[in-house]
Amino acid sequence: MSKKNMFLSDLMPVNKAQHMISSLIKNIGTEEISLEDAYKRVLSKEIVSLLNSPPFERSAMDGYAIRAEDTFGFSENSPAKLKIIDTIGAGQVSNTIIKAGEAVKIATGAPIPKGANAVVMEEYTVSQNNDLDVEISIAPGENISPMGEDIETGDIILKKGKILKPQDLALIASAGYSEIEVFKKPKIGVITTGNELIMPQKNISGAEIINSNHYTFKSFVESALAIPTVVHCFDSEKMVEDTFETLLESHDGLISTGGTAISKGDVVVDVTEKIGEVLIHGVALRPGKPFGFGIAHEKPIFLLSGYPVAAMVQADVFVRNNLYKMQGINITPQYILKIASKKIPSSLGRTDYIRSKTENRNVKPLKIKGSGIIRSMVESDSYIIIEENIEGIGKGEECNVLTYDSLIV
């Protein structure tokens, strides 16, 4: 007879459970991919430039490569008179050497010809046939980008762990790479359990409940930049065991929903214990007490509640950062301080994650209903977090807030 299981004294503190899980999660290895496909991927080693960029001294403008000293003292009313002796388009190289009084028409990005030390913008010139009037006095170096101005051969341009943005890809390309090594994206098996669950439909009957977790956790895994496979199991130990074993062969971890309450058959917990080891079962978290965590075949198994909101909170508290960690992304949730717009009761001995709505410097706890109330997750934008040693927050007091957006990379 299981009596008084999951009473507070048996529950693992949230912080302890978080640390235990994180300490067991490692990245799942690396792979070589095309730079084309690298948006939001994570570098698994630093990038050292193979090249100078720009690879040569080049013109930053459309205009004329000249000797700056030929323009000194000249102006619109008294222009310098030069001779155009050549034209260099983008992608062209010229062997011309510029001497005093000479100019070469040059396109943005083209290599500066020998002898020139500045480029005058076309807008400050008047040309007719080969005669060029320069109506401005310019300084040496003007409108010239030096070789290696952006990056030099051998520069470390990006570090391991960097999540790649468009500008990072541009820099890597300029450094000479079309392929890079990144951390693999974890493949995650999601197993929803429950005999009562059906897929969404207009007509439901009896004790049927729509399996919203199917959608929540497919997209949750996607939001964590991982790759989901979602299957449903009835509350059958054999079916769950077969599914766990099959998915573990081809996936890097599992997330299950349902069947974690101590008092029930606890199919997923029993199966995890059978094929591996259950390390956590029951945490001092509200909502979300019946959370479990285990390892089988050296892969993590996250056992979430069947109740939608409890499961979402558990996923935010214990799963998301670990899916990131599996692909080399280390993030620690950053609390912000906000002022509670009403009193928030809490009990000692458990950590509360209270759905809330921020508004400027304030945060308002939403009316807290059951852990099945999905709408509260939709209407909130954050959690107020009340640590287990705090007995509640008074109206007007500061409290720790974690916005949902801040959890997503």
Task: State the minimum distance, in angstroms, from the CB of residue 378 to a copy of itself.
Answer: 5
Q: Which member of 12, 98, 110, 233 binds a copy of itself (CB under 8 A)?
A: 110
Q: Does 141 bind a copy of itself (CB under 8 A)?
A: no
Residues 6+ apart with CB under 8 A from 269: 259, 260, 278, 281, 292, 294, 303
Q: Which region, judged by CB under 8 A, interacts with a copy of itself, from 203-211, 238-246, 338-346, 394-402?
A: 203-211
Q: Does 140 bind a copy of itself (CB under 8 A)?
A: no
Q: Does 172 bind a copy of itself (CB under 8 A)?
A: yes
Task: State the minimum distance, in angstroms, from the CB of residue 76 to a copy of itself.
Answer: 10
Q: Does 367 bind a copy of itself (CB under 8 A)?
A: no
Q: Which member of 18, 27, 174, 403 binds a copy of itself (CB under 8 A)?
A: 174
Q: How many residues bind a copy of itself (CB under 8 A)?
A: 103
Nearer of residues 146 and 394 to a copy of itself, judged by Cβ = 146
Q: Which of residues 35-94 bind a copy of itself (CB under 8 A)?
A: 35-36, 38-39, 50-51, 53-56, 60, 62-63, 88-93
Q: Which of residues 322-361 bind a copy of itself (CB under 8 A)?
A: none
User: Which residue do the tokens 């409108």 mark?
Assistant: 143
Task: State the minimum distance, in angstroms, from the CB of residue 320 to a copy of itself.
Answer: 10
Nearer of residues 7 and 249 to a copy of itself, judged by Cβ = 7
Task: State the minimum distance, in angstroms, from the CB of residue 87 to a copy of itself.
Answer: 11
Q: Which member of 67, 184, 185, 214 binds a copy of itself (CB under 8 A)?
A: 214
Q: Classify residue 392 by burial, with Cβ atoms within 10 Å: 0-12, 13-18, 19+.
A: middle
Q: Which region, judged by CB under 8 A, interacts with a copy of itself, from 101-109, 240-248, 323-331, 339-347?
A: 101-109
Q: Which member of 97, 100, 126, 348 binds a copy of itself (CB under 8 A)?
A: 126
Single out the residue of 215, 174, 161, 202 nearest to residue 46, CA to CA. Answer: 161
Strands (E), 208-361: 209-210, 227-233, 253-257, 277-281, 285-286, 292-296, 299-304, 336-340, 344-345, 351-359
Nearer of residues 227 and 275 to a copy of itself, judged by Cβ = 227
Q: Which of residues 388-407 bind a copy of itself (CB under 8 A)?
A: 404
Task: List helix spans (H) across 113-211.
Answer: 166-174
Neighbours of 222 (CB within 10 A): 12
Q: Which residues make beta-bridge pairs with 355?
A: 383
Q: Does 6 bind a copy of itself (CB under 8 A)?
A: yes
Q: Does 239 bind a copy of itself (CB under 8 A)?
A: no
Q: How many DSSP H helices and E strands does the chain contain?
A: 8, 28
Task: State the minimum distance, in angstroms, from the CB of residue 193 to a copy of itself.
Answer: 10
CA distances from 283 to 50, 118, 176, 243, 271 (A): 51, 69, 50, 26, 19
- For residues 173 and 213, is the Cβ–Cβ distance under 8 A? no
Q: Is 16 helix (H, G, I), strand (E, B) or coil?
A: helix
Q: Does 151 bind a copy of itself (CB under 8 A)?
A: yes
Task: State the minimum distance, in angstroms, from the CB of residue 253 to a copy of itself.
Answer: 18
Nearer of residues 24 and 198 to a copy of itself, judged by Cβ = 198
Q: Which member of 16, 26, 369, 395 binds a copy of itself (CB under 8 A)?
A: 369
Q: What's the CA gap between 20 and 293, in Å, rounded?
A: 10
Q: What's the CA gap between 49 and 171, in Å, rounded?
A: 9
Residues 6+ apart with CB under 8 A from 278: 269, 272, 292, 293, 294, 303
Q: What's the CA gap between 142 and 130, in Å, rounded?
A: 23
Nearer of residues 327 and 393 to a copy of itself, judged by Cβ = 327
Strands (E), 212-276: 227-233, 253-257
